[in-house]
Amino acid sequence: MVTEMEGSPLQSDGPEPLWRQAADAILQEIAAGRLASGARLPPERDLFTRMSISRVTLRRALQSLVEEGVLTPSHGRGWYVSAKVPKEFPNTLESFSETARRLGLAPSSDVLRAEEAPASLDEAEELSIAPGATLFHLERIRRLDQVPVAVDTSFFALALVPDLGRVDFRTASLFGLLIDAGVDLARAETTIEARGADPTLARHLDIDVGKSTLVMRQLIVDATGRPLLSSTIRYAGDRYRLRTSFSRTGRSAGRAAG
C-alpha cells in the first residue's frame, strides 16, 4: 500500500542542502506515524514534485536513508520503510520532550536536584553574570518510554524564570518554561566527548561502571550571543549516536540520536 505524505516545498536557501532537508522530511513523516514500518513511499515523481527538488536530489536523499537503515529499496517496486527504523534526533535545538513526542515516545524524568543556589565564580563567568547571583540548578534522569537514556544537569539565572517552586520537573519541559517566559533560546555551543560511567552515573542509567558514555556540554545563548543556560547531558553510549556532515565552506550540520 502506498502511503500519502504531508509537507511543503523545501527551502533552497536553507542552511542544509536540499537532499538532507528531503531526507529529514521523510524522517519526520516516519516519526509522526504517517509512514509506518513496511509502508511503501509515494512514487518518486510525487515526492520530488511535492518537495520542489530534482529527481537526482531526491535519489540522494533516499539513498542516504538506505545507508542509515531507514529505507529499503525494492527493484521495480519503490522504496519501503524498514521494519526497524533508527530513532533520529534532528540537528535543530529542541527540548528532550519535543524530541520524544516527535519520535512517538513518552518522556519522563526522575528529579535528582531542583533548587536555588548562589553562582560560583566559574558559573558566573560561564553565564556572564555577577558571582553570587541566584541560579536555579536542575538535575534529572531523562527517560524515553521509561528507559533511562541520560542524566541532564543544567543551571541558569533564576531571574529568567523567577517562579519555579511549584513546577513538577518530572514531566515539565525546561525549554518550554523558558520559551513561555519569553527567553530567546537561539543556539547552543556544543562539545561532545566519551567518558566511562562512574558508579553514580552507572546506577542512574542502569549500566555497568566504566561503560562508555557520551558527555554533551552545551551553552545555550540568545540571538545576540548572551549566555542563558548551561547544561551537561551524559548519555548511555549504546543509546546515543552522533552524525555530522562537513562542507568545504566551514559550515557543518550535526545530528544526535538516541
Helix (H, G, I), strand (E, B) or coil at 176: helix
240: Cβ contacts below 8 Å, ≥ 6 apart: 149, 150, 214, 256, 257, 258
> Averaged over 17-35, what is the pLDDT?
81
Bridge partners of 130? none
Helix (H, G, I), strand (E, B), or coil: what is residue 104? coil
Neighbouring C-beta atoms of residue 9, cutoff 10 Å: 12
Report which listed range, 25-29, 60-64, 146-150, 200-204, is most confident. Answer: 200-204
d(CA 31, CA 106): 13
CA-based nearest residue to 27, from 110, 91, 122: 91
CA–CA dist 26, 71 (Å, integer): 10
Q: What percent of the chain has pLDDT over 90?
A: 42
pLDDT of the residue at 254: 45
* 14 compared with 109, residue with greater pLDDT: 109
Higher confidence at residue 139 or residue 98?
139
pLDDT category at 250 given cuts 50, 70, 90 is very low
Say how many C-beta atoms besides its own lie within 10 A of residue 131's C-beta: 12
* pTM check: above 0.75: no
Mean pLDDT of the 238-251 span: 56
Residue with cell 528529579: 111
> Which has the closest alpha carbon to 65: 11, 24, 10, 32?
24
- Residue 175 vs residues 39, 72, 220, 230, 243: alpha-carbon distances, Å: 34, 36, 11, 12, 23
Query: Is the pLDDT reported for residue 208 higher than 70?
Result: yes
Mean pLDDT within 207-235: 93
Residue 252 has pLDDT above 50, yes or no: no
Tell whether the model's pLDDT for residue 67 goes beyond 70. Answer: yes
Instruction: Choose among 39, 59, 64: nearest CA to 47.
Output: 59
Would you say residue 3 has pLDDT above 50? no
Radius of gyration of the CA atoms of the chain, in A: 20
**Summary mean pLDDT of the chain:** 83
Residue 2 — pLDDT band, cuts 50, 70, 90?
very low
Looking at residue 191, its pLDDT comes to 92
CB-based burial, 66-92: b 16+ in 10 Å, e otherwise? eebebbeeeeeeebbbbeebebbbbbe
- Between 199 and 12, the higher pLDDT residue: 199
Range 31-60 average pLDDT: 87
| Residue ranges with strand state E in 29-162 | 71-74, 78-81, 107-118, 134-144, 147-157
pLDDT at 56: 93
